[in-house]
Structure 1
Amino acid sequence: MTTLEQPTRARPAYREVEIEVQVRRRETVSDGVVALTLAAPDGVDLPEWAPGAHIDLLMTPSLVRQYSLCGDTANRAEWRVGVLLDPDSRGGSQFVHDKLHEGATVRVRGPRNHFPLVGSPRYLFIAGGIGVTPILPMIAAAQAAGADWRLLYGGRTRSSMAFVDELRRHGDRVTVCARDAGDGASFRANLTAALAQPGPNTLVYCCGPEGLLTAVEQACRTWPEDSLHVERFAAKELDPLAPDSLVTFEVECQRSGLTLTVPQDKSVYQVCEEAGVDVLGSCMEGVCGTCECDVLEGEPDHRDSVLNDAEKARGDVMMICVSRSRSERLVLDL
């Protein structure tokens, strides 16, 4: 087991590991979705995690994908993930569905959390399709804390909506809307009604396809700052009206003692890696948060889909796989 020291500011910091795990159980939880229960072959405890955390599956050296943990946070012996077979798969979900049967082994890295559940007396959870996976442990935590909560869960077809059976026990706290059952309009109506006015002492957690996230972000513009928390599957489209970053700029890697020039056609991550600086990355799209780095001086140009607006405004961290600079020089804790 390799332990990785990856503390993150203002986010749950875990003991990350890189370890080979075995598929202990594989269940089909809906059309096109399998749930994998992973455990260390020697039975050692896995690192603790909290709702919102994800792990990397290192399926091949060039095929690394992130999946939300959706099991029981108290079960240190096992991790569980749910994986949708994407018809447009770039290889990750296809590998999981074709290769990771019971008894198979796969290398994993994590856990990491860029979607942490903040304490609150009330929650509105919103999930679209496989976006329900990080919401499951959040519901369990809210329930255990005695918080008031409800879930709006939408999908294409009821048969494709994962973990519906697990959610039934919560009764009318959960609203399930499937388009094939004629519930598409109902889901939109429920969403509009739920977000029309800011809920008192209410936090909104949303995960799902981009169309849903965009609609929820727009609806929550009148809510207090930091009410909304989202997690994306893919990179958010950049604002074309945002100020342009510099074409080239310098990066001082303080711990490494190197000063490097970042050209227009390369990322900070690429330049640092080529210079032998120890950097860790995965998605290279600004989605997973693996490459998060502390900014000691300078003004980053944030192009990621991980940090919220307040975190971007603070400018104390950046995702070096996609973000650039608005200042001539950045000093990074690398």
Structure 2
Amino acid sequence: MRDEVDLRLRVTRRVAGAEGVAVLDLADATGAPLPPWDPGAHIDLRLPGGMVRQYSLCGDPADRTTWRIGVLREPDGRGGSAHVHDAVREGTVVDARGPRNHFALVDAPRYLFIAGGIGVTPIVPMVAAVAAAGAHWDLHYGGRSRRSMAFLDALGARATLYPQDEVGLIDLDRVLGRPLAGTAVYCCGPEPLLSAVERRCAAWPAGSLHVERFAPRAAAGPLEAFEVELAASGLTLTVPPNQSVLRALEEAGVEVLSSCREGTCGTCETPVLAGRVDHRDSLLTPDERAANDTMFVCVSRAAGPRLVLDL
């Protein structure tokens, strides 16, 4: 993963990408080139009132002058998207951090993309990349209506569209009913779509499915106290049931970068040297969880009495 940076970005262009979607082009406020990124990357926007929101980069990775994001207004959200829609205009300067990528493209002879609503944003540069590489790809893209579906022009005629008010939901039984060896499946969208895709891909070869969530999956399991040993300092902390590892570290004066605090952004990823992890994040694949060598300390806990972290 490339190093993340803190930036001040100026909105150079703002357009309506679709009904309820604002598309913003962002440039470095000093005119400097932006850090490189790969398809699947996202950035944090730091908004007033301490709000931090993650948005996928959906422009051209070769363009070092501009980052593009698409922001859906969430009527029942926590205020971040409303602020972007109501207060962020051309010329507005915003604070950002990134880029960060936990949804990177793997090499594969064939790709199957499934997108729901604003979840299409990380898929747009992926489609462009695999098409330029000459790989075989299919995209199934669903939305409430054709008017609400962003970036249709960028996706071209190859995309299979599912405006719900015209044709209903994506036919996942048809799309995923037959496992295909050598096919990488990428899915981003609302939780019901992600969960449905995960169920159907359970019969696919291990490692086929790649998903990205911007809302935390429901955590399960009891909350027990445990100890965390910090290998670099030798400090041992007790994490009580009502506290996260991240909060315990902060109270002990141990600095760990963090952002979302709900297991979706990946900022607080921390190497694990010993002990079993109770993974409660929305990022790691089953194989990555089984490896037991990393955790996101904002939500994940110990699955035993003690963890040793590389801190």
**TM-score (ref. length: structure 2):** 0.97
1:190-269 paired onto structure 2 within 5 Å = 191-239=172-220, 244=222, 247-269=224-246
Contact 2:28 2:34 in 1 (8 A): yes
What residue is the counterpart of 1:165 in the other structure? 153
Contact 2:270 2:309 in 1 (8 A): yes
- Per-residue deviation, 1:239: 4.6
For 1:194, give the aligned amino acid: V
1:5-16 paired onto structure 2 within 5 Å = 13-16=1-4
Aligned equivalents of 1:253, 1:100: Cα separation in 2: 42
Contact 2:186 2:209 in 1 (8 A): yes
Aligned equivalents of 2:207, 2:10: Cα separation in 1: 38
Q: Give deviations 1:23-45, integer Å, cap 9, x for gaps.
A: 01111110100111111122111
Q: Give deviations 1:264-305, integer Å, cap 9, x for gaps.
A: 110000000111101111111111111111001111111111
Aligned equivalents of 1:58, 1:255: Cα separation in 2: 31
For 2:240, give the aligned amino acid: P
1:92-131 paired onto structure 2 within 5 Å = 92-131=80-119
- Consecutive unaligned residues in structure 2, runs of 5 or more: none
Asked if residue 89 in structure 1 is aligned to residue 74 in structure 2, the reply is no
Aligned equivalents of 1:97, 1:323: Cα separation in 2: 33
What residue is the counterpart of 1:180 in the other structure? 165
1:307-318 paired onto structure 2 within 5 Å = 307-318=284-295
Instruction: Say which SS state the counterpart of residue 4 (structure 2) adopts.
Output: strand
Aligned equivalents of 1:252, 1:76: Cα separation in 2: 41
Cα RMSD for the two superposed structures:
1.2
Instruction: Say which SS state the counterpart of residue 141 (structure 2) adopts.
Output: strand
| More deviation, 279-288/96-105 | 279-288
Instruction: Say which SS state the counterpart of residue 15 (structure 1) adopts.
Output: coil
Asked if residue 283 in structure 1 is aligned to residue 283 in structure 2, the reply is no
Contact 1:256 1:277 in 2 (8 A): no
Contact 1:37 1:79 in 2 (8 A): yes
What residue is the counterpart of 1:304 in the other structure? 281
What residue is the counterpart of 2:40 in the other structure? 52
Aligned equivalents of 2:140, 2:220: Cα separation in 1: 28
- Per-residue deviation, 1:76: 1.1
For 1:117, give the aligned amino acid: L
Asked if residue 271 in structure 1 is aligned to residue 248 in structure 2, the reply is yes
Aligned equivalents of 2:139, 2:286: Cα separation in 1: 25
Aligned equivalents of 2:196, 2:280: Cα separation in 1: 20
Q: Give deviations 1:233-282, integer Å, cap 9, x for gaps.
A: 21112356xxx56x111111223442111001100000001111011111
For 1:99, give the aligned amino acid: A
Instruction: Say which SS state the counterpart of residue 57 (structure 1) adopts.
Output: strand
Asked if residue 323 in structure 1 is aligned to residue 307 in structure 2, the reply is no
Aligned equivalents of 2:88, 2:280: Cα separation in 1: 33
**TM-score (ref. length: structure 1):** 0.91
Instruction: Say which SS state the counterpart of residue 73 (structure 1) adopts.
Output: coil
What residue is the counterpart of 1:3 in the other structure? none
What residue is the counterpart of 1:4 in the other structure? none
Q: Give deviations 1:139-171, integer Å, cap 9, x for gaps.
A: 011011110001000011110111112223xx2
Aligned equivalents of 1:226, 1:18: Cα separation in 2: 33
Q: Give deviations 1:90-144, integer Å, cap 9, x for gaps.
A: 0110111111100000000001011111011100000000000000010011011
What residue is the counterpart of 1:25 in the other structure? 13
Aligned equivalents of 2:220, 2:301: Cα separation in 1: 15
Instruction: Say which SS state the counterpart of residue 29 (structure 1) adopts.
Output: strand
Aligned equivalents of 2:308, 2:59: Cα separation in 1: 39
- Per-residue deviation, 1:61: 5.4
- Per-residue deviation, 1:224: 0.2
| More deviation, 252-261/26-35 | 252-261
- Consecutive unaligned residues in structure 1, runs of 5 or more: 1-12
